[in-house]
Amino acid sequence: MTLRPEPPHRHGDVERVGVLLVNLGTPSEPTPAALRRYLAEFLSDPRVVEIPRILWLPILYGIVLSARPAKSAAKYATIWTPEGSPLAVWSDRQAVGLSQALQARGHRVQVRVAMRYGEPSVARGLDALRAEGATRVLVLPLYPQYASATTGSVSDAVMKWSAGARRLPEFRFVNEYHDDTGYIDALAERVRQHWRQHGQGERLLLSFHGVPHRTLVLGDPYHCQCHKTARLLRERLELPEERVVVTFQSRFGNAKWLEPYTEPTLRRLAAEGLRRVDVMCPGFVSDCLETLEEINEEAREAFLASGGERFEYIECLNDQPAWIEALATVAERHMAGWDTQARLDPAQASITRERATALGATI
Ligand X SMILES: C=CC1=C(C)c2cc3[nH]c(cc4nc(cc5[nH]c(cc1n2)c(C)c5CCC(=O)O)C(CCC(=O)O)=C4C)c(C)c3C=C
CA distance 270 to 349: 65
Could you tell me how far CA 103 lies from the centroid of its own chain?
22
Task: Name the minimum Å distance from CB 30 to ligand X.
Answer: 10
DSSP designation for 248: E
CB 313 within 8 A of CB 296: yes
15-23, 108-116, 246-254, 272-280 -> range binding Fe ion (CB under 5 A): 246-254
Q: Does 262 bind ligand X (CB under 6 A)?
A: no
For residue 114, the cross-strand partners are 22
309 is an annotated ligand-binding site residue: no
Give me the residue whose beta carbon is nearest to Fe ion.
250
Selected from 20, 101, 147, 351, the binder of ligand X by CB under 6 A is 147
DSSP designation for 347: G
For residue 276, the cross-strand partners are 310
In the complex with ligand X, the residue whose CB is nearer, 183 or 284, is: 284
Selected from 14, 22, 149, 246, the binder of ligand X by CB under 6 A is 149
Q: Does 318 bind ligand X (CB under 6 A)?
A: no
Number of H helices, E strands in the chain: 13, 8
Selected from 91, 94, 150, 153, the binder of ligand X by CB under 6 A is 150
138 binds, among ligand X, Fe ion, none (CB under 5 to 8 A by kind): none
Selected from 4, 10, 37, 68, the binder of ligand X by CB under 6 A is 68
143 binds, among Fe ion, ligand X, none (CB under 5 to 8 A by kind): ligand X
120-179 positions binding Fe ion, by CB under 5 A: none
Selected from 180, 287, 294, 312, the binder of Fe ion by CB under 5 A is 294
Selected from 209, 223, 300, 334, the binder of ligand X by CB under 6 A is 209
Helix (H, G, I), strand (E, B), or coil: what is residue 292?
helix
Q: Does 169 bind ligand X (CB under 6 A)?
A: no
Determine the size of the site formed for ligand X (CB under 6 A). 22
Q: Does 265 bind ligand X (CB under 6 A)?
A: no
DSSP designation for 336: T
284 binds, among Fe ion, ligand X, none (CB under 5 to 8 A by kind): ligand X
In the complex with Fe ion, the residue whose CB is nearer, 47 or 355, is: 47
DSSP-derived secondary structure for 31-53: SHHHHHHHHHHHHT-TTTS-S-H
In the complex with ligand X, the residue whose CB is nearer, 56 or 252, is: 252
Contacts of residue 304, Cβ cutoff 8 Å, sequence gap at least 6 = 270, 311
For residue 81, the cross-strand partners are 84
Selected from 72, 110, 155, 207, the binder of ligand X by CB under 6 A is 72
Nearest alpha-carbon partner for 326 in 141, 146, 180, 108: 180
Question: What are the distances in angstroms from CA 348 to CA 65, 183, 273, 341?
Answer: 52, 39, 70, 15
Nearest alpha-carbon partner for 188 in 319, 317, 284, 291: 317
CA distance 266 to 50: 29
Q: Does 90 bind ligand X (CB under 6 A)?
A: no
Selected from 31, 250, 306, 350, the binder of Fe ion by CB under 5 A is 250
For residue 115, the cross-strand partners are 23, 121
**Residues annotated as binding site?**
209, 290
Could you list the residues that contact Fe ion (CB under 5 A)? 250, 290, 294
Could you list the residues that contact ligand X (CB under 6 A)? 24, 26, 48-49, 68, 72, 85, 87, 143, 147, 149-150, 209, 211-212, 250, 252, 283-284, 288-290
